[in-house]
């Protein structure tokens, strides 16, 4: 069993950059979003929670950082190899893929990986971006994006709106 609080402290303590947009608040929102989506997508909740911690953990800045996913995946691999992640090889492979490709791939055709992608995308309001249903990897993610547009949700209020669903 993974002690997520201790792991979060470890990952956060090993971050490269203290980000305003990609830091702990974002990681927690991605976890919330993933846990909200998982029942309807059938995603592996453990992988989704780990993705929230690792996907942006090695960003070097809040601007364009095209290699941050690869670095986050490599850090997850190191933690897995050191026994810090009590997960199966299959779970790790999904985590690695999701971290590595989360900004490069629209959809992976895997419920868990696609849920990770949408969990991250559903928090784009924090940087002023409107949700786009066609950019979501899962049907539930697209449905939420459509609802946000129909409700005319202010992007900066998206987190609170998501919590009200």
Q: What is the CATH number of the domain that holds 122?
A: 1.10.3210.10
Supply the pLDDT for residue 17. 67
Mean pLDDT per 10-residue segment, the chain (165 residues): 91 78 84 98 98 89 76 96 96 98 95 98 94 98 98 96 95
CB atoms within 10 A of CB 56: 27
- Please tell me the predicted confidence (pLDDT) of residue 68: 86
**What pLDDT was estimated at residue 1?**
84
Distance CA 34, CA 44 (A): 10
Residue 2 to residue 46: CA distance in whole angstroms: 9
Give the pLDDT of residue 37.
98
Q: Report the helix count and the strand count for the chain, using DSSP H and E.
A: 8, 0
Domain encompassing residue 143? 4-163
Alpha-carbon distance 54 to 4, whole Å?
A: 12
Structure pTM?
Answer: 0.94
Which pLDDT value is given to residue 33? 98
The pLDDT assigned to 62 comes to 66
- Counted domains in the chain: 1
């Amino acid at each position: 069993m993974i002690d997520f609080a201790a792991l979060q402290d470890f990952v956060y303590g090993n971050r490269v950059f203290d980000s305003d947009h990609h830091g702990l608040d974002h990681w927690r929102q991605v976890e919330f979003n993933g846990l909200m989506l998982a029942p309807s997508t059938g995603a592996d909740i453990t992988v989704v929670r780990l993705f929230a911690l690792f996907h942006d953990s090695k960003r070097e800045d809040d601007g364009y950082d095209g290699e941050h996913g690869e670095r986050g995946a490599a850090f997850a691999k190191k933690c897995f190899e050191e026994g810090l992640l009590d997960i199966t090889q299959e779970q790790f492979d999904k985590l690695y893929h999701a971290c590595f490709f989360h900004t490069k791939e629209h959809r992976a055709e895997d419920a868990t990986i696609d849920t990770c992608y949408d969990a991250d995308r559903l928090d784009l309001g924090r940087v002023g971006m409107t949700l786009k249903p066609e950019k979501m990897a899962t049907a539930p993610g697209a449905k939420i994006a459509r609802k946000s547009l129909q409700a005319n949700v202010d992007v900066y209020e998206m987190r609170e709106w998501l919590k009200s669903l």
